[in-house]
Amino acid sequence: MTRPVARRLAVLAVSAAVMSVGAAAPPSAGQNGVEKEPVAVGHGGAVASVDPDASAAGIEVLRGGGNAVDAAVATAAALGVTEPYSAGIGGGGYFVYYDAVSRTVHTIDGRETAPLTADENLFVEDGKAIPFADAVSSGLSVGTPGTPATWQTALDSWGSKRLGTLLKPAERLARDGFTVDETFRSQTASNETRFRYFPDTAELFLPGGELPVVGSTFKNPDLARTYEELGRKGAGALYRGKLAHDIVDTVNEPPVDPQAGYTARPGDLSLKDLSAYRTKRQAPTKTSYRGLDVYAMAPSSSGGTTVGEALNILESTDLSKASEAQYLHRYIEASRIAFADRGRWVGDPAFEDVPTKELVSQKYADARACLIKDDAVLTSPVAPGDPRNPAKCDTSGTAAPTTYEGDSTTHLTVADKWGNVVSYTLTIEQTGGSAITVPDRGFILNNELTDFSFTPASPAVHDPNLPGPGKRPRSSMSPTIVLDKHGKPVVALGSPGGATIITTVLQTLTGFLDRGLPLVDAIAAPRASQRNQTTTEIEPGLWTSPRKAELEAIGHGFRQNAEIGAATGVQRLPNGKWLAAAETERRGGGSAMVVSPAP
């Protein structure tokens, strides 16, 4: 790596080792009495997630001799209990794994798939796209879940314990309950109208017909029984047998309250769709940045290509010496350009000819970087370039706007005492998913198929993200692992947040690697998110900052977003130590834990 980056990382490692955590908030009371802290340093492994009970489940597995993969599965299962509106076995995700023995990075694409009967008109009626709100809360939006298959694939490939053993902490949590916090209540409240459409959802998440009370205990015995069944029979139980029948029946005949006055469009999911589902073991994207190797998810995710392209665009600028406004300007413009190319080129590679290697090439980034000016702002939507035939400063392509993605999802990051690392993002799409709970099963089904373009984003250009039979919708999930020149981990991280995931990961990486922020402070920093749109979303910390006026003076336009993303990460420190970091405030603050805290 370059000497400035090496020096900054060395300083950060020393600071972390002595618990210099900058803006980290003091610990707050977590669920079930578990302390919620945004940063932890120690030996034996580390877990960072949004929830203390979930992080504690991962730590329990690490203390019991499990490895990072085992702990990641246990943490994810617990998040399915305490974060049921963001993740669960009714959804999918992307799993990135670093093997410390071989010093290699591997990935699993566990994205949901469209029914085999789907075509590009999945969301079109009478020649027009159906209203988004109608698509969301419907069987039509539900893709074949990939999360249980992801767990099984990861364990079969690199795990050391049985799925049944790893589901026990989550099963216990679902049976005995967890303490409702303000985030859980507010997310329930924001979905209350939708939840009341479906009796099984209302019965579970609106106990006694009311919103759950902060401080009360929330139990999900149906999910406990479902986890017990998966643990006993294996993940295949979701794809074949009684549970598969229950899912198909629910999707194709959504159980709506007849008094609700709502019509839920039926889906067309079949038992064949479930039994045919397979995860994909595939090579990660790889981008060189400041002498480090950045590994992430290749398509069907757009995370690896878009973060990678933006990093390559920023490579020529010394962000460590830039003023805060100059840094933000360059970061925003690099994001704008990378999103222009994402919209044109990235889709499911089983259906689309995606130029993955070209998108993350330095040659292509250099051809795009010259579009950025220090004293002016690009006009969105920016036209895409052609990564296979890079033309310097090319603006001749046809621009297309960025389509909407739900802003929920959750991310967890794990390291173990052997040096293995997992960065795992999982989701049911927007907060509350489809709002449809499988009767007597305790989990909500995804609305992931709404990540497809309903109609072509631009009628003049092929849209790689239209629906198709068995196709995976494009995602922005960006679980990332960074290695040094010796092939050892430097940092791993990821975030929820729909399309803002990409900008959250990019901003956190550059804050940590370039700006010299401790990891917890890079995560806590106020965020900006530009996705090839006319204005850039910024959080209140930037909205009230003098930087806003400085950026507006050269042409930037902004709109406020109260909260962007909710990242977690781990950092490797000297002498076998790990630092785990999570949010200090977003989503009520995250939970960082280590097996053996440093004195």
Q: Is 139 labelled a binding residue?
A: no
Q: Which of 179, 201, 356, 409 is catalytic?
A: 409
The H or E element that residue 287 is part of is strand 285-289
Write down the H helix ranges in 210-278: 221-233, 242-252, 271-276
Cα 552 versus chain centre, distance: 30
Are 188 and 172 a contacting pair, CB within 8 Å?
A: no
- 380 among the known binding-site residues? no
Distance CA(557)–CA(535), nearest Å, equals 5
DSSP state string for 374-423? TT--PPSSPPP--TTS--TT---SPP-PPPP--S--EEEEEEETTS-EEE
Going from the C-alpha of 457 to that of each of 55, 344, 401, 460, the distances in angstroms are 39, 9, 7, 9
HEC profile of 92-140? EEEEEEEECCCCEEEEEEECCECCCCCCCCCCEECCEECCHHHHHCCHH
Say if residue 157 carries a ligand binding annotation.
no
User: Does an H or E element contain 593, and which?
Assistant: strand 591-597
> Is 547 annotated as belonging to a binding site?
no
Q: Which of 596, 587, 597 is nearest to 51 (CA)?
A: 587
Compute the residue count for the chain.
Answer: 599
Distance CA 206, CA 214 (A): 13
Instruction: Give CA–CA dist 269/546, Å, rounded.
Output: 52
Q: Are the C-beta atoms of residues 35 and 27 closer than 8 Å to each other?
A: yes
Q: How many CA atoms lie within 13 A of 525 on its CB side?
A: 23
Contact 329, 343 (CB under 8 A): no
Is 453 annotated as belonging to a binding site? no
Between the two ends of the chain, the Cα-to-Cα distance in Å is 31
CA angle (589, 593, 597) in 5-degree steps: 135
Q: Comparing C-alpha atoms, which of 451, 491, 466 is closest to residue 579? A: 491
Q: Report d(CA 249, CA 149) in Å as an integer.
A: 20
DSSP 8-state assignment for residue 556: -
409 is catalytic: yes
Active site residue ranges:
409
Binding residues for L-glutamate: 111, 451, 475-476, 498
